[in-house]
A and B are shown apart, each in its own frame.
Chain A
Amino acid sequence: MVEPFIPAADEVTKVERGYDLGSNVYWKIRKRHFSHLPTTQGTYIVTPSGILIDNGHNHTPNELIKFLANGLKKYKALSKKERLGSPVGGNSKTARSKYPKDGLVLKVTLREIYSPRPTGRRARGIVECNQDFAWFGKDEAAQFLSATLKRGATHDIPAALMMRLAKYHFLDTVRTFCDPYPDRCVKTAKLTSTVLSVSKNLVSIRLNGAVHSAQDDTPRWGIVREARIPRRPERSFDATLLGYATYDKNQQKFTKFDLVVLGTHTGGGTQFLAGPVTMGIVLSLAGESPIDHVEPRHLSLYGWK
C-alpha cells in the first residue's frame, strides 16, 4: 500500500520556518485548509503540486487502509497538470547536512519504566519511549579512546563531549520534555574508557561512568518552547553508565558501540507523574538509511560551525 506513495517525514517547526519548496507547499496547504489550527502535526496525502488530498491524525488500521486507498484514488482522478504542476515557488535545494560521515553517529533510544505502571488519571501523558541521534565528528569520536592503546589503559572522555550527552541527550524526552539542561545543572558527567584488548586492527574498550543533572528553576513553559506543556520547576536525572565498544584502527571508526544509561528521573510536566521513574537510555551505532541521518534534536546547540 505504501509503494504508490513517496513517504516523507519531517518536522513541523523546520517546515514552518523554512523558505524552500517544502515550506512553500506546506504554507499553501496550511493557509487554505488549517489556518485556524494551533498545530498541524499529523499525516497528509498531498500532490507534488501542493494540492491537499486528505489528512488525518489518529487512525485505526482500517481507517488507515481507507485513508491510503482513497487518497490514491483521488490522486489518480486529478489531471497531470493538477498533480505535477508547480503553483508555488521555492528553492528545491536543501541545506547541507552536517552529518558526520566519518565520525560517530549514535541512535539514542530512551525508555521510562514504570513499576508498577500507573493506571487511570495517573497514566496521563505516559508514552514511555522516544529516540534521537547523537553525533560526534571524527576527531571527537577519537576522544573516546585513550592515547595509549594498550590493554588496561584508561582515559577520561573530555568534559565537553560528556556535557553534550548530559545536556542534550540524557533528558526526559519521553514525555516531550526535551529541554536541555543548562551547564550549571550538570553536577556530574563522567565517563572513563578502559582498553580491554588490542588485536592487530581492533581495540575493544569498556565505558564506565555516571551522570547527575538537577534543576530547580525549569521555566514553566520550558526552554524548548514548541512543546507548550507546563513543566514543574524541579527535575533531575541520576544514572550509571556502562558500555562496550570496538574501534577499527584501519577504518579509524567505531565498528561497535553500545552505551547503556540507567537511572532515576524525577520531575516533568505538572499534569504528569513527578516520579521518581526509572529511565533507561541506550546509545548504539546508527544505520545507514536516510532516516538514520536525521539530525539530533539539539544539533544547533552543539556549537558546530
Chain B
Amino acid sequence: MRCYSLIAILFFLIVASSALAQREITRKTTLTEKTYPAILKTLQKPPVETHWNEIPWRPNFTKAIGEARKEDKPILLWIMNGHPCGMT
C-alpha cells in the first residue's frame, strides 16, 4: 500500500512543495549569514517531495529494457520533455 502512495505522490509533488517556501521567504527577504540557514532549509526539498525519489527509477530506457527482459517484468516508463529526474 505504501508503494501505491509513492506512485500517486509522484504526480503531485512539484505543485505540493511550494507552501513551505511561501511561508518563510518573501520579496523582502535578503540573503545574509543570519538568514542563510532558514533560506537553505526552506529551499531544499521538503520531505513530501522526496517520495518520488524512493522509486528506483532507471534513468535510461534502453538499460531498463534489458533488465526487464532478464527479470520478465513490465516496464513502467515515464517520459517527459527534459529528463523527469532532472530538469523537465
In the assembled complex, A284 has its CB within 8 A of some CB on chain B: yes
Residue numbers of B with Cβ under 8 A of A are 3-8, 11, 14-15, 17-18, 21-22, 25-27, 29-33, 36, 39-40, 42-45, 49, 53, 55-69, 71-88
CA distance A11 to B62 in the complex (A): 12
Contact A9 B74 (CB under 8 A): no
Q: Which of A8, A12, A42, A241 contacts B57 (CB 8 A)?
A: A8
Q: Is the beta-carbon distance between A113 and B25 smaller than 8 angstroms?
A: yes
Which A residues touch B33, using CB under 8 A?
A: 242
Q: Are A6 and B67 in contact (CB under 8 A)?
A: yes
How big is the A interface, by class? Answer: 35 or more
A242/B32 in contact, CB under 8 A: yes
Of A8, A133, A297, which one neighbours B60 at CB under 8 angstroms? Answer: A8
Select which of B3, B29, B71, B81 is within 8 A of A41 by beta carbon.
B81
Complex CA gap A191/B81 in Å reads: 32
Instruction: State whether B59 touches A127 (Cβ < 8 A).
Output: no
A280 to B43: give the CA distance in the assembly, Å. 7
Q: Is A291 an interface residue (CB 8 A)?
A: yes
**For the complex, what is the distance from the CA of A26 to the CA of B62, rounded to whole Å?**
10
* CB-based nearest B residue for A29: B77
* Contact between chains at B25 and A11 (CB < 8 Å): no
A2, A20, A80: the one within 8 Å of B72 (CB) = A80
A-B contacts, 30 listed (Cβ < 8 Å)? A3-B3, A6-B64, A12-B80, A21-B62, A21-B65, A25-B65, A43-B78, A44-B79, A45-B77, A46-B77, A48-B69, A61-B4, A80-B72, A115-B25, A115-B26, A115-B27, A117-B18, A129-B49, A130-B14, A132-B86, A242-B36, A258-B40, A262-B30, A280-B42, A280-B43, A282-B43, A282-B44, A291-B85, A297-B83, A297-B86
